[in-house]
Amino acid sequence: MPQPGFWRPMTAEDLPVVKALADRIHVDHPEDMQVFVERLALHRAGCHVLEEDKRLIGYTLSHPWRFGNPPALNTPLGSIPADATTYYVHDVALLPESRGKGYAADIVARLTQHAIERGFDNLSLVAVNGSRGFWGRFGFQEAMTEALRRKLASYGGDALLMRKNMVASDM
């Protein structure tokens, strides 16, 4: 009988599988292994893997950042800015067979709580591949400007910066 999946902290040992998942899930948005290594090193508390039946079926990468200035794809951050103004969700990636089981809602709730505990009043992300509606269900709203449209071109034509403001019930 299949065991229910669960999110757990990502470890360095998970990185080869996480990279393989990323390559399979994000065919149009490849990132080098160094991106995953660096995100884990810079903000371990924001990196998780989804395990089901003793295999990884998803992951998330997130970290503090500056709102309105999302990191370019496949680019090292260097460091987490001391003046971060948003909790940035770099990626929530799930294999197709893991979708529809509540795993995304679970990790978004965890990331929201993590952000609140660190003093942030918002989360932000770049929605790609037509995922605006998906993120909208979790309270994210479009926060685009013309300058961002140009900057996010590498993410694809439908890329949107989205923001979730925390409300009193979240905090």
What CATH number has the domain bearing residue 32? 3.40.630.30
Percent of the chain at pLDDT > 90 equals 74
- In this predicted structure, the answer to whether residue 155 has a pLDDT above a threshold of 90 is no
Regarding predicted confidence, which is higher, 171 or 166?
166
- In this predicted structure, the answer to whether residue 171 has a pLDDT above a threshold of 70 is no
Averaged pLDDT, 110-119: 96
**What's the domain count of the chain?**
1
Averaged pLDDT, 63-86: 95
Q: Does residue 80 belong to any structural domain of this protein?
A: yes
Q: Does residue 141 belong to any structural domain of this protein?
A: yes
Q: Does residue 1 belong to any structural domain of this protein?
A: no
Q: Does residue 156 belong to any structural domain of this protein?
A: yes
pLDDT of residue 4: 79
**CA–CA dist 55, 61 (Å, integer):** 18
Q: pLDDT tier at 89 (50, 70, 90 boundaries)?
A: very high
Q: pLDDT tier at 139 (50, 70, 90 boundaries)?
A: very high
Q: Does residue 171 belong to any structural domain of this protein?
A: no
Q: Does residue 30 belong to any structural domain of this protein?
A: yes
pLDDT of residue 121: 96
Residue 155's identity, in one-letter code, is Y
Q: Does residue 112 belong to any structural domain of this protein?
A: yes
Indicate the pTM of the whole model.
0.93
Name which of 6-10, 27-31, 77-81, 114-118 the model is least confident about.
27-31
- In this predicted structure, the answer to whether residue 160 has a pLDDT above a threshold of 60 is yes
Q: Does residue 117 belong to any structural domain of this protein?
A: yes
| Domain that residue 114 falls in | 6-165
